[in-house]
Structure 1
């Protein structure tokens, strides 16, 4: 299942979300040539990624921040930016530009620390914005659980777009990260499941004060659990242009 869009575009321009997407893309393009040289790429990630053992054994914390803007490949980047584009605009709209930026960065660094706790002696570099974006998703679940999201379902040769409440997608995603993390040795690399799960929980926790200030469950009742904007209409309409039928 791949989310492709939500039905509630932001009520104002999400400048921070757009800037984060642009920054991630520009940085990726900057070191793209290194993918042709494995040694140079590994050295680049060693210098700028988050390596748990360097945090716990050497007290080097800069990677907690810099790793959020690095990606291990093109599809890694595209997938993360898609999730940020879908869920980030409404969170920025509700929080405000600068508070949202702080929320994003804190979620990302907290997600990295969660991965450190899961594998404190690991020398495997961790890169990606997914921890910070997981924080955005955790906050989105709390504020807008019934927002409608279109997902692309792919099953062998079956392709279909269906619409579901955001809560179903987000809870399922979190459960996958949590149970996958339990079954994987965090010190041996692979997907940083604990960074994803940790970022999600941190994002929800950071959003909780805002949720309570908005009225808690009363906020859901006022907005039906959706962003307070008119829903986008993605249905296809018949064209008013008449068809021209050619004689046989």
Structure 2
């Protein structure tokens, strides 16, 4: 059983696994240090996004650092669960470098849209959802580019997941829906600009 678990971890795409582990590690470090990930003021001290701090203090780094912070276990679990599977599919077909660019740049794009549309709101925000939606957006581009014929991807399931996830963001007042939308659009466009191929075979499989 232990060997099977190790082999399963080794079979995952390396860059996506690294992103998942970094997000989990940041959460654990904050928790071990006695931080409260549900406390907005404490999350600000760790780099969460807050429009007034960006506009008034010029702390633009928050548009990046907030991607690796999460409000509680449930928030972390949901984002990492989506990333675990969607990110693996994207990296397997685009390669680690393109995947990383889409994940990071797409995540920042989501945060920028959230910032631009919410500068008047005094709300602390954090989470990898913008980056996760960038990955989903890139996968949707692959499906569109290849006219629905992408090996290993359930096209209808993927599109349905994207639509439902975006819709949930707009219906739930506690979700930063603009970060989701910005990440999705950013990932879709980045995949097109980077000319992400339909498939890149993994060497470890």
TM range (shorter): 0.7 to 0.9
2:164 to 172, 176, 183: 172
More strand by share: 1
2:42 to 34, 44, 48: 44
Mapping of 1:47-126 within 5 angstroms?
47=45, 48-126=47-125
Gap runs ≥5 in structure 2: 1-7
Pair 176,191 (structure 1): closer, same or farther in 2 beyond 3 Å: closer
Give the root-mean-square deviation of aligned CA atoms: 2.6
The equivalent residue for 2:183 is 199
Alpha-carbon distance between aligned partners in 1 of 2:107 and 2:162, rounded to the nearest angstrom: 17
Q: Is the 8 A contact 2:106 2:130 kept in 1?
A: yes
More helix by share: 2
Say whether residues 1:208 and 2:192 are aligned partners. yes
The equivalent residue for 1:245 is none
Alpha-carbon distance between aligned partners in 2 of 1:54 and 1:175, rounded to the nearest angstrom: 29
For each residue in 1:191-216, what CA deviation from the matched residue of structure 2 results, as whole angstroms up to 9, or x when unmatched? 111111111111111112345x75xx
Bigger CA radius of gyration: 1
TM-score, normalised via structure 2 length: 0.78
Note the C-alpha offset of 1:13. Answer: 4.2
Secondary structure, in 3 states, of the residue corresponding to 2:35? helix
Note the C-alpha offset of 1:133. Answer: 0.4
Alpha-carbon distance between aligned partners in 2 of 1:210 and 1:57, rounded to the nearest angstrom: 34
Note the C-alpha offset of 1:78. Answer: 0.5
Q: Is the 8 A contact 1:114 1:194 kept in 2?
A: yes
Alpha-carbon distance between aligned partners in 2 of 1:130 and 1:24, rounded to the nearest angstrom: 12
Alpha-carbon distance between aligned partners in 2 of 1:197 and 1:70, rounded to the nearest angstrom: 19
Gap runs ≥5 in structure 1: 1-8, 150-163, 185-189, 220-226, 230-248
Find runs of 4+ consecutive structure 1 residues off by over 4 angstroms.
none
How many residue pairs get aligned? The number is: 182
Alpha-carbon distance between aligned partners in 2 of 1:35 and 1:175, rounded to the nearest angstrom: 29
Note the C-alpha offset of 1:95. Answer: 2.0
Alpha-carbon distance between aligned partners in 2 of 1:54 and 1:66, rounded to the nearest angstrom: 13
TM-score, normalised via structure 1 length: 0.65
Alpha-carbon distance between aligned partners in 1 of 2:56 and 2:81, rounded to the nearest angstrom: 35
